[in-house]
Homo-oligomer: A and B are copies of this chain.
Amino acid sequence: MDIPDWRNKIDELDEQIVQLLSKRAAAAVAIGELKAKSSAPIYEPQREQAVFEHVRRINSGPLSDAQVQDVYERLMDVMRALQRPQ
C-alpha cells in the first residue's frame, strides 16, 4: 500500500471514529440532563480518572498509554463543555 491508500483507509476510520464520538457525546448529554435534575456536579474527577484508567488498560498500541490518555483528556474537556447549560 502507498501513502494515498493508507490515507483512504484513515479517512474510513475517521468516519467510524466521528460516529462513535457522536454516540459518546449523546450519552454525555443524557448524563448531563440527569445530573441537572439531581443537581449533581458536572465535573466528577473520580469518574474521569476511571475513564483514563479504562482506556489505558484496553490500549494495545502502537499509541503509548500516555498518548491515548492525552487524546482522552481533550475528549473529556469537550464532553464536559457539552454538559454545561447553554
Contacts and interface: CB of A to CB of B under 8 A. Distances in A.
Interface of A: 1-3, 6-7, 9-11, 13-31, 34-35, 40, 47, 51, 54-55, 58-63, 67-68, 70-71, 73-75, 77-78, 81-82
Contact of A20 (B17, B55, B61): B17
Copies in the complex: 2
Contact of A34 (B2, B15, B21): B2
B63 A22 contact: yes
A10 B22 contact: no
A77 to B, nearest CB: 8
Contact of A1 (B25, B30, B70): B30
Given A27-B6, A31-B7, A60-B22, A78 B82 contact: no
